[in-house]
Amino acid sequence: MDELNAAPAMVQASCYQLVLDRKLGEYTLPDGWAIIAAGNRDSDRAVTTRMPTPLRNRFVHLEFEVDVQEWSEWAIQAGIRPEVIAFLRFRPELLIAFDRDAPHAFPSPRSWEFVSRILDSLDSQCNSSIEHELIAGAVGTGAATELSAFLRTYRELPSIDAILLNPLQEPVPENAAAQYAVASALARCATDTNFDRICLYLNRLPTEFRVLCVRDATLREPAIRCTAGYVKFAVENHHTIA
């Protein structure tokens, strides 16, 4: 046991020269490379090994906070399901709700990715109670209950195909949760060939949801910026997309 406890300290001690002098024995770190170390906080009780003082003093220590917009930008490019992204924009405080005393899972960026994969793997006819239990296994019961309610709203939205066929007549949701959902769904399916029609529907939504949809769509499909619909939107909303 003593040898096991000593192993992390020995590994950390070997980093002293590498972190400070960018060398390890005869090896020198190439120009342009940086040393970055990531870890959990002691207070989180997350299986941490405390750094020795000499090593700790060789680092600049920063604490990072999760940002929903930055996570959403990553999630769009990573193929995270639009309903998960829309839900977390509607309930951003659930992106991470760390509870060190939680008996099982809790919401985190990692576990929301699990939720997206779970939804990918489920059949469209899957029993809702089974779906809820699987989601709860990834993010906990409270967050799963809220997501399940959001998914019911999401699945009752106007058909995206119907919106594209008749953007001026299809109904526009009135509550914020549904507006987040439809904006994310449209962004997911937007292309340079259908974006002009999407803009006709977006013009009927509040500005914040129009901007959200356009930002997400162009992040996923940059060619949209060459469409007439995008140019018109950019001119009319330049103050919101700068």
pLDDT in tens, 141-187: 999 999 999 999 888 888 889 999 999 999 999 899 999 999 999 99
pLDDT, position 13: 63
Side-chain half-sphere exposure of 45, counting CA atoms within 13 A: 5
pLDDT, position 3: 47
CA triplet 85, 90, 91: central angle to 5 degrees? 95
Please list the ranges in the chain whose pLDDT falls under 70: 1-14, 43-48, 101-102, 240-242
9 contacts: CB under 8 Å, gap ≥ 6: 49, 52
142 token code pair: 């409270």
Whether the model pTM is above 0.85: no
The beta-carbon contacts of 26-35 under 8 Å, at least 24 apart in sequence, are none
pLDDT, position 4: 43
pLDDT, position 199: 95
pLDDT, position 24: 79
User: Please, where are the H alpha helices in the chain?
Assistant: 2-13, 15-21, 53-56, 68-78, 82-90, 109-121, 128-139, 141-155, 160-165, 176-189, 195-202, 207-220, 228-236, 238-241
Question: At 140, which helix (H) or strand (E)?
Answer: none
